[in-house]
Chains A and B, each alone.
Chain A
């Protein structure tokens, strides 16, 4: 298989004879990557898979994982599984694996030496259940970025902030110039994500892990986390005039200089790119909000449901290999704006912000992300809390922190 993959480009005719028309297996792949940049990235995966003599049948479902996941899960549990499906790696597919509905990819992984090439190691760990590997991580997305509009700060006549604290200090000047200091889209996951970023940046890595990994409720009620809530309070005051829902509409406010900044994951830089903006000149990115330069290793992974058809199972193996192929990794991640999961690939084409991310990754300053640490249930409760917190000034910091600590106490 591996051999076929490597020679496919060079000796297409041989491969054709080798694989024959019969091996051109259709494999349906479901995912929720539908934005311009995302679709372009998926196209790279499909191209690479089609080059192996198989055929990628695209099953995109728009409207974020919340819309797509129930459909995927229904299909898998309903006995009509697709060939492969995207999930965020972490705990979303845990139970499907435990129920024996997902394929064990350990053989493919051993052959491809995944344990050696995938970095950071924690990525593969979240694909591993009881020592067996069930998913293929394809990228690293980190949330820890503050995107600032150079234009907005110029207009307000204040210097570019170098970290979160300076940004907060600049807020009144921005407001005076008619600029929304911080853009936070209305959807719950955005305010919740912003808080998590603040927790890691303002509170520090230890605080973050104590709360989400150890689920230390007492600590979550304590003064360290109170500091973070104070920062979140600043954030919600700065964000109170954002009247948009989608994250990219919020990013667009930053791009057009209507907002000073946005806390958003690295996928936001795709939007800056599409708008033809240059990092450093038009916008500035501060990893870890300039306070604590770590990045979290969230991201996407592909899972392969157990199929009865032997040909399709074989095609699944090929797809799993293809996804981690160095060439595919580079092509895919450049388009997606995320970092590759292999340490041994060359990313010269990456832009400034991406390079900052790669440098942090190389230093090993990584933390696991909430997708890996918390169940979806706890995540959702957290989203509800912060959605309310950001939208409702009457909800006091103390009350919110108390509810947060309760939530951590019951989190799993």
Chain B
């Protein structure tokens, strides 16, 4: 039944386009020019409408059903949402995402920027340093998680080694301590991600006009002030791109947690994406998984859509 619905949806997308075209042809804007751009944009339009909008609508629709293993249109109202918000694990997931989000955002930006600023001091071996900071980005989260899980394991990782050196009361087991586990996970996330942020920032710094620095020096403005009040505001576009990259990574965080702790100890390091996945596939309760993903989408939409419109919307 719903494959048909789907098809309809797609046809409608395809149909509205030429219709749009027609209405526009009366305007001075030459039709053929737009036509080419539109034809070229068909993959984007299809992706946006069929996959992202279509998939989202589909997800939201089925979040009101009691679909288990297979999607079924058996509506149960808001039941899935009541259950979701009464589930301790979901609440913990949200809290963890917030902590993880703030840490990643702040530290990635700060560390990334500081490293970039250091590299921008006309140093020797810049290429070497940059490669060192960037290489972890080439490794998948699964790999990153695995290595850090190992380093942070109290039985043979850093704690074990330091204790062997004679400091027997030394304790460093962030992945095995419920109250700080989410910070432990962030260590690996920062290790993996800051290199890219540094590159973005470095690129941004290199884009600042030489004369700005000269002028600042002539005026006797200290370097840190120049960075903070002149350079950073000028790097707005690069910060925007960086924010999109970091923030989208934060919302999606999943593999890293699975590889490091599987959400443990207990459920102390659970994150929303993992809740969605576990309930959709592990618990075979699609309805619940969809309800959780709808909440995620909703919160993303509330924050991102207005901002994205301001940022990327009609600008001359």
A73 touches B (CB below 8 Å): yes
Query: Known: A243-B173, A381-B283. Contact between A99 and B70, CB under 8 A?
Result: yes
List residues 362-407 of chain A with CB under 8 A from any CB of chain B: 375-377, 379-381, 384, 387-392, 403
Q: Are A391 and B264 in contact (CB under 8 A)?
A: yes
Which residues of chain B have C-beta atoms less than 8 A from A388's C-beta? 88-89, 266-267
Q: How far is the CA of A388 from the CA of B280 in the complex (A)?
A: 20
Which residues of chain B have C-beta atoms less than 8 A from A188's C-beta? 262-264, 267
A186 touches B (CB below 8 Å): yes
Query: Known: A95-B69, A243-B176, A384-B89. Contact between A389 and B283, CB under 8 A?
Result: no
Q: How far is the CA of A375 from the CA of B279 in the complex (A)?
A: 12
A69 touches B (CB below 8 Å): yes
Q: Are A380 and B268 in contact (CB under 8 A)?
A: no
Which residues of chain B have C-beta atoms less than 8 A from A95's C-beta? 68-70, 284
Q: Are A73 and B265 in contact (CB under 8 A)?
A: no
Q: Are B264 and A376 in contact (CB under 8 A)?
A: no
Q: How far is the CA of A241 from the CA of B178 in the complex (A)?
A: 13
Which residues of chain B have C-beta atoms less than 8 A from A276's C-beta? none
Chain A residue with the shortest CB-CB distance to B154: A243
Query: Chain B's nearest CB lies how many Å from the CB of A229?
Result: 16
A13 touches B (CB below 8 Å): no
- Interface of chain B, helix or strand or loop or mixed? loop
List residues 19-78 of chain A with CB under 8 A from any CB of chain B: 66, 69-70, 73, 77
Which residues of chain B have C-beta atoms less than 8 A from A70's C-beta? 277, 280-282
Which residues of chain B have C-beta atoms less than 8 A from A380's C-beta? 278-279, 282-283, 285
A245 touches B (CB below 8 Å): yes
Q: Are A391 and B281 in contact (CB under 8 A)?
A: no
Q: Are A377 and B267 in contact (CB under 8 A)?
A: no
List residues 57-112 of chain A with CB under 8 A from any CB of chain B: 66, 69-70, 73, 77, 92, 94-96, 99
A7 touches B (CB below 8 Å): no
Chain A residue with the shortest CB-CB distance to B67: A95
Query: Chain B's nearest CB lies how many Å from the CB of A198?
Result: 18
Which residues of chain A have C-beta atoms less than 8 A from B89's C-beta? 384, 388
Q: How far is the CA of A95 from the CA of B287 in the complex (A)?
A: 14
Q: Are A377 and B68 in contact (CB under 8 A)?
A: yes
Q: Are A389 and B266 in contact (CB under 8 A)?
A: yes
Question: In the complex, which of the residues B176, B262, B281 contacts A69, with contact meaning CB atoms closer than 8 Å?
Answer: B281
Q: How far is the CA of A381 from the CA of B279 in the complex (A)?
A: 9
Q: Are A391 and B284 in contact (CB under 8 A)?
A: no
Q: How far is the CA of A201 from the CA of B284 in the complex (A)?
A: 29
A187 touches B (CB below 8 Å): yes
Q: Are A391 and B268 in contact (CB under 8 A)?
A: yes
B153 touches A (CB below 8 Å): yes
> Which of A69, A96, A381, A410 has the most chain B CB atoms closer than 10 A to its own CB?
A381
Query: Known: A187-B262, A377-B288, A387-B267. Contact between A77 and B70, CB under 8 A?
Result: yes
B311 touches A (CB below 8 Å): no
Q: How far is the CA of A162 from the CA of B262 in the complex (A)?
A: 34
Q: Are A92 and B284 in contact (CB under 8 A)?
A: yes
B21 touches A (CB below 8 Å): no
List residues 255-294 of chain B with CB under 8 A from any CB of chain A: 261-268, 277-285, 288
Which residues of chain B have C-beta atoms less than 8 A from A73's C-beta? 69, 281
Q: Are B266 and A375 in contact (CB under 8 A)?
A: no
Query: Known: A380-B278, A384-B89, A388-B88. Contact between A186 and B284, CB under 8 A?
Result: no
Query: Chain A's nearest CB lies how many Å from the CB of B294?
Result: 18
Query: Known: A69-B281, A377-B283, A388-B88. Contact between A245 and B264, CB under 8 A?
Result: yes
Q: How far is the CA of A340 from the CA of B299 in the complex (A)?
A: 51
Query: Chain B's nearest CB lies how many Å from the CB of A379?
Result: 7
Q: How far is the CA of A187 from the CA of B261 in the complex (A)?
A: 9
Q: How far is the CA of A119 from the CA of B298 in the complex (A)?
A: 51
Which residues of chain B have C-beta atoms less than 8 A from A403's C-beta? 88
Query: Chain B's nearest CB lies how many Å from the CB of A359?
Result: 35
> Which of B89, B154, B282 has the most chain A CB atoms closer than 10 A to its own CB?
B282
Query: Known: A186-B262, A387-B267, A391-B265. Contact between A375 and B70, CB under 8 A?
Result: no
> Which of A92, A99, A387 has the most chain B CB atoms closer than 10 A to its own CB?
A387
Question: In the complex, which of the residues B69, B153, B262, B263 contacts A243, with contact meaning CB atoms closer than 8 Å?
Answer: B153
B126 touches A (CB below 8 Å): no
Which residues of chain B have C-beta atoms less than 8 A from A77's C-beta? 70
Q: Are B266 and A391 in contact (CB under 8 A)?
A: yes
Q: How far is the CA of A375 from the CA of B154 in the complex (A)?
A: 37
Q: Are A387 and B68 in contact (CB under 8 A)?
A: no
Query: What does the 1/0 interface line of A162-183 toward B look like (CB < 8 Å)?
Result: 0000000000000000000000
Question: In the complex, which of the residues A96, A377, A379, A387 contacts B266, with contact meaning CB atoms closer than 8 Å?
Answer: A387
Q: How far is the CA of A77 from the CA of B87 in the complex (A)?
A: 29
Which residues of chain A have C-beta atoms less than 8 A from B281's C-beta? 66, 69-70, 73
Which residues of chain A have C-beta atoms less than 8 A from B83's C-beta? 410
Chain A residue with the shortest CB-CB distance to B265: A391
Chain A residue with the shortest CB-CB distance to B176: A243
Which residues of chain B have C-beta atoms less than 8 A from A66's C-beta? 278, 281-282
Which residues of chain A have C-beta atoms less than 8 A from B285's C-beta? 375-377, 380
Q: How far is the CA of A387 from the CA of B268 in the complex (A)?
A: 9
Which residues of chain A have C-beta atoms less than 8 A from B178's C-beta? 391-392
Q: How far is the CA of A69 from the CA of B280 in the complex (A)?
A: 11
Q: Are B283 and A390 in contact (CB under 8 A)?
A: no
Closest 5 CB pairs of A and B: A391-B266, A380-B283, A70-B281, A95-B69, A391-B265
Question: What are some 17 contacts across the A-B interface (CB < 8 A)?
Answer: A69-B281, A70-B277, A70-B282, A73-B69, A73-B281, A92-B284, A186-B264, A243-B155, A375-B284, A376-B69, A376-B282, A377-B288, A380-B278, A384-B87, A384-B267, A387-B267, A410-B83
**Given contacts A375-B284, A377-B68, could you give 8 more A-B pairs where the C-beta distance is less than 8 Å?**
A66-B281, A70-B281, A77-B70, A94-B69, A95-B68, A95-B69, A188-B267, A391-B266
